[in-house]
Structures are given as C-alpha cells and as structure tokens.
Amino acid sequence: MKENGRLVTDALDGRGIVVLDDDDLFLNEAKELFEGRVPTDRTMSDVERRVEDSEIDLVILGPSHAHEEALTQAGELIAADPELGVVLVTETVTAPLLKAALRNGLTDVIEAPLTVEKVEEAIGQIDRLQRRRAAGTMPPEPYATEPELGTVITVMSAKGGSGKTVFATNVAMVLGKMYSPEEIVMVDADLQFGDVCLVMQMEPKFTMVNAAQELHGLDEPMLDSLLTKHSSGMRVMAAPLEPAFADEISTAAITEVVEKLRAMFRYVVIDTASMLDELLLTLLERADKVLFIVDMDLPSVKNAKLALETLRLLKFPASKIQIVLNRSNSRARLDEKEIERSLKMKIMATVPSDGIVPASVNEGRPVVESAPKSKVAKGFESVAKLVISGKPPKKSDTSSDKPAKRRWL
Ligand SMILES: Nc1ncnc2c1ncn2[C@@H]1O[C@H](COP(=O)(O)OP(=O)(O)OP(=O)(O)O)[C@@H](O)[C@H]1O
Ligand SMILES: [Mg+2]
C-alpha cells in the first residue's frame, strides 16, 4: 500500500488531488489510499474555494455525488476551470450515469472501491484530455485537411472456427507492441457469439448494445467510456453479452461506431462472424485492409473460393484483401500453390498449427504475450507487418515452415 501510495503522487508530478464526499467511510478509505497526503472536502463549495486557491488538477467525487444535481455542480466547476479533471466514484456504473457525467464534462466514472490503478488511469485520461485540448487550440493550418484517420482492418473467414478471433486478438496485440496499445482498438462484430473479451480475459461493463442505444450524441468521451480496457492498455468494443441482443444493433450503428473509433485510434481491428451478410459486407467496405483467414482444410478453401467469387462479382477491390493461411503445417496438408490457384490469389502470410494456441485461448492470454518466441507468435508478427506495409514480410521475418513442407513431400 505504501509503495502504491508513493506511485500515485509520483505519477501526478506534484499536481494536486482533492477528494470530495460527505461519507466518512469513503473519506477514510481515500485518506488511507493516499497515506493522508490528499486533502478531503465535504461540500462542493469547499472544493470550489480550494480549486481557486491552490493548484488542484483532479477532483475525486465520492459515491454520494452519483446524482444529476451533484454532476451539474461539478459541470459548473469544470466550466470555470476547463483544465480540471473530475472523476466520479460510484458503486455501480450505469449508462445513464455515465452519460450525465460526460455531458457535464467529467473525465470518467469509476467503480468503487477506489484503487491506485484506477486513480492512475484517471490521471492518464486527464493527460490525454489535455493533449487533445492543446491540439484543439493550435492555430489551424492554412489548408488544414481532415484529421488523420486510423486504419480499419476487418478480419474475416468463409468458414467458422478458422481462427479469426485468434488472428484478430494476436495481430491487435502485436500492433500494440509496435506502436502503443493505447492506439489500438478492437471491435467484436461477431454480434451473437463474439468471444474477444473471453479470450483476452476481460469483463466488459458496456458493449456494442450500449453504443447503439446511445448513438445519438455518442461523442468521443462517451464512446471511450464504453470501451473495455485490456491489461495491456488496448481497448475493445465488446460484443453483446447475449446472442438475443444482437438484434438491437443495426449495421448503421456499427458503421458509425467504427467511423468514430477510426478518428480516435491508429488501428481499428474488427473481428467478425463467418456469415457473408449485410453486416460483413459493410465492414469489408469500410475496411482499409481485409485479413482473409483460410484454414488448411478443403471445406475452408472451398468456402473461401466461393466467398472471393462473390466479392469479385460485387466488384470489391481485390487489392484490399490479404489472404493468410492458418494451420499451415496441419496434417491434412494441402499444397499452397494449389490453394493459390484455386483462390486466384496469393497467400501473403502463414501461421502454423500449435497446441499453444488453444492453451492460450483457455488461459485468456494471446500467444504473442504468453509465448512470444513461438513460431505461431512469429507468424502473427508477420501478419501484423503485412497489415502495416501491405507487402509480405521478408523471408527472414516469417516463421517459415518451408522445411517442414519439403519433409512432407
Ligand atoms: N494456428 C492454430 N493452431 C492451433 N489451434 C488453432 C490455431 N488457430 C486457431 N486455433 C484454434 O481453433 C479454434 C477456433 O479459433 P477461433 O475461435 O479463432 O476461430 P474463429 O474463426 O474466430 O471461430 P468462430 O467462427 O466460431 O468465431 C480455437 O479453439 C483456437 O484455439
Ligand atoms: Mg471468432
């Protein structure tokens, strides 16, 4: 606790925090967390005075402020000092509460109990807000163009169980390592049976259902709050928790969410269901790159061929599609050249089959994290490089399984 308490003040860089609540229990907990180094106030006017008189950057509102009137007062405080970060701590975070908090300009709503990690996360958000604000106040360039938009990668396959989720999660993690996890967001667009959060050991509080419900007025801070944060810092827009909720989400809602996320993150990685329906076609249209996973078995290759023919008929640009072969060393080994001839496309990267993949899924840690030196992880790295450059990585970069092929033949 002592160590954690020190971390809090270090991370703050000398900036001040004040805790506001009229409940002794909460105030005592906060004092303990901050080793008594943080002042506490009981009323909003006390905080107002303190903010005016001293250097306060973060106000932590206790659970007794989880109502409209207190949030409006907090909004007035923020209006008077727009650089101020204000977070609300509450027993249960609900969508209406979150909406009211964000409408009033609060930085975030966090679930009780207050911990060092949560305070640090809030501080991180204030820094981000400040950076955004600073960017917003920069004078516009004479011929300012649209803000730079992130790259959307849609991961698809024409047959279920081909490895879409495993690819999407691992490639997103590699992109997070190459850039920063904070710059990567995943969208679980397998609306009925999405399992991105499951395989990443995350428990979403909000899902795409909330985003679809709040679509009107879904601004950046609100959307940010509906994302689930992975321990690495990467964000996920989770799929509905029950298949029945999928009906509540229109294709237009998902498209809007994706477009908004594109403005907030460097990469948007979308996991999909294996159904060539209106939703998938729309997500393909929106994509800058399509990772088309083909599993090393005949039905998978047959379905991939049919799906690619349909996409050609729809005049979908083939240049966006990158074919990647999963379980490339599988026993039911098909000839790669033959697969390419059948699909009329080149295989751009391969990932071998390995028992560490299902093990990593069960463990809730992507392979690139749990076994970064494995051939499978190297395969995902080569897929991520492919996504970035559009070119297959140099031979030395790939987890080439060519020698294995020669042995088989
Ligand atoms: N390269 C691999 N080696 C070993 N097992 C793999 C590999 N790729 C995927 N798997 C396993 O195959 C199963 C299906 O993978 P995954 O869930 O990623 O497929 P999917 O295409 O997302 O399936 P769905 O269509 O049901 O969403 C998982 O149990 C996973 O562990
Ligand atoms: Mg899946």
Task: Dihedral sign for Cα 350, 355, 356, 359, please.
Answer: positive
CA of 167 to the centre of ligand 2 (A): 9
350 C-beta closer than 6 A to ligand 1? no
CATH at residue 184: 3.40.50.300
Complete DSSP assignment for 368-383: HHHSTTSHHHHHHHHH
Q: Tell whether 187 and 90 lie within a shared domain.
A: no
The confidence score (pLDDT) of residue 82 equals 82
User: Is 41 within a domain?
Assistant: yes
Residues 6+ apart with CB under 8 A from 144: none
* H-run or E-run covering 96: helix 95-103
Q: Taking Cα atoms as reference points, which of 164, 155, 158 lies closest to residue 343?
A: 158
Say how many residues make up the chain: 409
User: Is 405 within a domain?
Assistant: no
357 C-beta closer than 6 A to ligand 1? yes
164 C-beta closer than 6 A to ligand 1? yes
Task: Dihedral sign for Cα 193, 197, 201, 204, please.
Answer: negative
User: Is 145 within a domain?
Assistant: no
Q: Tell whether 127 and 256 lie within a shared domain.
A: no
User: Is 174 within a domain?
Assistant: yes
188 C-beta closer than 6 A to ligand 1? no
Q: Tell whether 161 and 124 lie within a shared domain.
A: no
Distance CA 242, CA 204 (A): 12
Q: Tell whether 127 and 65 lie within a shared domain.
A: yes
The confidence score (pLDDT) of residue 216 equals 87
CA of 233 to the centre of ligand 1 (A): 24
User: Is 34 within a domain?
Assistant: yes
Whether the upstream peptide bond of residue 392 has omega within 30° of 0, thus cis, is no
270 C-beta closer than 6 A to ligand 1? no
Q: Strands (DSSP E) along 27-131, which ranges?
A: 40-41, 56-61, 85-90, 108-111
Strand order in the sheet with 85-90: 40-41, 16-20, 56-61, 85-90, 108-111
| Six token digits for residue 111 | 């679930």
What's the structural domain count of the chain?
2
Which residue numbers in the chain have pLDDT < 70? 1-15, 127-147, 332-333, 390-409
**Which of 157, 165, 270, 365 to probe ligand 1 with, by most ligand atoms within 8 A of CB?**
165
At position 266, the amino acid (one-letter code) is: R
User: Is 138 within a domain?
Assistant: no
CB 161 within 8 A of CB 295: yes
Q: Tell whether 242 and 370 lie within a shared domain.
A: yes
Q: Tell whether 59 and 201 lie within a shared domain.
A: no
Q: Tell whether 200 and 128 lie within a shared domain.
A: no
User: Is 323 within a domain?
Assistant: yes
Query: Containing domain of residue 257, as a range?
Result: 151-394
User: Is 144 within a domain?
Assistant: no
* Ligand 1 atom nearest 167 alpha carbon: 18
**Which of 357, 370, 374 to probe ligand 1 with, by most ligand atoms within 8 A of CB?**
357
Summarised one tens digit per residue, pLDDT across range 28-72 is 998 888 877 888 999 999 999 998 888 888 899 999 999 999 999
**Which of 166, 171, 380 to probe ligand 1 with, by most ligand atoms within 8 A of CB?**
166
Q: Tell whether 361 and 266 lie within a shared domain.
A: yes
Strands 56-61 and 16-20: parallel
CATH at residue 26: 3.40.50.2300
Q: Tell whether 173 and 102 lie within a shared domain.
A: no
Angle at alpha carbon of residue 162, lines to 156 and 168, rounded to 5°: 50
Q: Tell whether 119 and 175 lie within a shared domain.
A: no
Domain boundary among 74, 104, 132: 132
Q: Taking Cα atoms as reference points, which of 295, 267, 262, 333 lies closest to residue 161?
A: 295
Q: Tell whether 295 and 381 lie within a shared domain.
A: yes
The confidence score (pLDDT) of residue 94 equals 86
Alpha helices in 186-264 (DSSP H): 196-199, 208-213, 220-226, 251-264
The closest residue, in CA terms, to atom 23 on ligand 1 is 161
327 C-beta closer than 6 A to ligand 1? yes
190 C-beta closer than 6 A to ligand 1? yes
375 C-beta closer than 6 A to ligand 1? no
Instruction: Identify which ligand lies nearest to the alpha carbon of 380.
Output: 1
Q: Tell whether 111 and 174 lie within a shared domain.
A: no
* Ligand 1 atom nearest 160 alpha carbon: 25
Residues 6+ apart with CB under 8 A from 40: 18, 19, 20, 21, 27, 30, 31
